Amino acid sequence: MISRDDLVSRFGGVFEHSPFIAERAYDAGAIAEPLTSGGVHGALVQVFRAASADERLAVLRAHPDLAGRLAIAGELTEDSRKEQAGAGLDRLSPAEHARFTELNSAYVTKFGFPFIIAVKGLGKDDILAAFETRIGNDRDAEFATATAQVEKIALLRLQSMLPES
């Protein structure tokens, strides 16, 4: 059986900078071996969904802006860096970067958390189109969309770490 410390060490960052999710899943006995991406994801998502609205908001706020200041400063987590680079967000033209910066600022002002999208399989144009569409949502709809995207990101990260179930 995997220890609590090992589980948190391996999966505590699957939900960006939010190890409490892995801790609670372990404490609830929700993690069963053999560890599979589907099994671990199901346990972590159950905890995430049961967390308070403030805790889920904190998870959203832990995510970096797309092509934002942390990316420029080289301060993204390794997972976020790879995900953003895979979508070409590390190779934006000055005009594209300016548009991302403008949208990031407007989005955070409107919703109180950064724009979150699972970028795997998407290009910068796909991401910009989603950004342009989603900024028109109301806060409740966007909170629901962002939390669903966080869950999708977590699954993609787990699939790169564990066999599928």
Active-site residue flag, 63: yes
Spatial CA neighbour of 151 closest among 19, 29, 30, 47: 47
Q: Considering 17, 41, 63, 97, which one is annotated as catalytic?
A: 63
Q: CA 153 → CA 46, 81, 95, 97, 158, distances in Å?
A: 15, 13, 27, 23, 9
160: its two tokens: 């790169």
10: its two tokens: 């391996």
Exposure string over 62-88, b if 16+ CB within 10 A, otherwise e: bbbbbbbebbeeeebeebbbbbbeebb
Supply the residues annotated as catalytic.
Answer: 63
